[in-house]
Amino acid sequence: MKRLVLAFLLIALPLLARERAVLIYPREHALFPFFYTSHQRELLRGLRARYEVDVHEQIASADDLFAIDVRGALLLVISGHGDPFSISLSGRDERTLDSAQRERLAAFLGTLAPDATIVLQSCDTGRGFAWLVKEAAGPTRHVIAAKGTIPRDGVRFSLAPFDAAITCRDDGRDWDCTLRL
């Protein structure tokens, strides 16, 4: 009987385990925060309905980021201030991730699930940086990024099947700026 129970547990437990998501938020100490908002808390609640979610807040450096365990995660959301060539986790004017971290980025992203989705929740990274992330992540992983300026509530997730849509606001005009690689 004990063997039967053990066999059942060995078979059933992996099936009952939920997929893993990792959310990374930058250091932000602003009067009007961009990333620590009710919209982000709502996104987190929605993701927790489907995923086992690990949230890492106030991440400020590449070393801090690369120390996070993302092994096997099906979803990785990296939030930060972006430009076409980088993401900043510590203020708008300081690059944290760019082409100089290509090898470290590849090693970090290489531990994700083979079919993982990486969402770059940052302005303008879809104009160039997302291609570097896609190259570092490999051909079977997906990257979603914005090609413009994201307002606070500009990212929408759908869970079944998973997708993210990004609405940008440039010069007072809202538009779908989602880049999917």
pLDDT tens per residue across span 91-140: 777 888 899 999 999 999 999 999 999 999 888 988 999 999 999 999 99
Confidence of residue 11 (pLDDT cuts 50, 70, 90): low
Report pLDDT digits (tens) over 126-172: 899 999 999 999 999 999 999 988 887 788 888 777 788 888 888 88
CA distance 44 to 32: 19
Q: Which of 40, 38, 34 is nearest to 91 (CA)?
A: 34
**What are the start-end ranges of the H helices in 17-146?**
38-48, 62-66, 102-109, 129-137
Average pLDDT, the chain: 85
**Count of other CB atoms within 10 angstroms of residue 69:** 11
* Token pair in block for residue 4: 């039967």
Query: What is the DSSP-derived secondary structure letter of residue 164?
Result: E
Single pTM value for the model: 0.85
Domain definitions of the chain by residue range: 20-52+60-180
Q: Is the distance from CB of 167 to CB of 151 less than 8 angstroms?
A: yes
- Distance between alpha carbon 54 and the CA centroid of its chain, in Å? 11
CA distance 33 to 19: 29
